[in-house]
Amino acid sequence: MTNKQRLDLIEKFIREHKYADLHTLAQKFDISLSTVRRALNDLETTGIVRRHHGGASLVEGEAGSGGYDFITQDDRQADEKHAIAQCLSQYIEPGMTVLIDGGTTTYAVARQLVEKRLVIITNSLPIAALYSEVGSCETIVTGGTVYNRLGILYGPSCERAISQVHADVAIIGSAGITAEGIWNNNSFIIANQLKVMEAADKVYFVIDSTKHEHRNVHHCCELSDKFSLVTDKAPPDKLAAALRKAGTEVIVAEPAALHPEDEEAES
């Protein structure tokens, strides 16, 4: 395959999906991350895509993203979020009803699920916008008051909507996890998350390792055997012991392997 042919295929993929991350493109086209980066740089030069840390989005499709560029511009733990999302996607089967909470890690998971036939219920406007453009999922958006900074819906209307549905799986983010339980920085978000946990048969908390042993303003819930933690590194000893005692399943995502030339380029 020539470079031009490869570039055309990558452009076609991004035009179809509006956004693509480096790892997805590398796996799909069996090329190295450094080759993907060069291709995206070329496409950005021609004005077709806009580069973000960890991927690129279609310039033509950005008008619909509104004020939620934090989703694609947030470069914190991008590789960790991708690993978590890719790992968790293996547990989501076609035909499931999936409740997805707002946030950058849950958005990373949502991107991994776009090609599966699912029923998606979400209070996240960016996730709803993503599924309106790509994938083959039925999407249900809760009502509620808009929390502009995060692009999520919250409040009594949102909580009532969630309490009236049932999901096979819930996917929830968090600002921290300790031996005492799950933490977050907003009591309104926690109120929503408690309803989400009640509505689902299975709950996955997606929390990267920088939030291990990290408390935040508000305590959401205690550790429980009713949910699983999906993370990028094994928890430290104290937290690991608490998780075992509570019966909380821990799923550690393995980082994506680099091609040899990437190891050289990033060393």
At 68 the three-state DSSP class reads: coil
Mean of the pLDDT values across residues 39-49?
A: 86
92-106, 143-157, 226-240: range with lowest mean pLDDT: 143-157
Residues 120 and 235 in one domain: yes
* 96 & 219 share domain: yes
Of 146, 125, 19, residue with least CA distance to 73: 19
Dist CA 134 CA 114 (whole Å): 6
Return the pLDDT at 91: 96
In this structure, are 49 and 98 located in the same domain? no
Token reading at 243: 């998780």
Of 217, 214, 224, residue with least CA distance to 194: 224
Task: Identify whether 266 is part of a domain.
Answer: no
92 shares its domain with 206: yes
**Residue 130 located in a structural domain:** yes
pLDDT given for residue 4 in this prediction: 87
What pTM value is reported for the model?
0.74
The residue among 208, 198, 209, 240 whose CA lies nearest residue 223 is 240
For residue range 66-95, list pLDDT tens digits in order.
Answer: 445 455 545 567 778 889 999 999 999 999
124 and 192 in a single domain? The answer is yes
Q: Is pLDDT of 42 > 60? A: yes
Residue 49, phi-psi category: left (phi > 0), alpha (psi -120 to 50), beta (remainder): beta
38 falls within a domain: yes
CATH code, domain carrying 32: 1.10.10.10
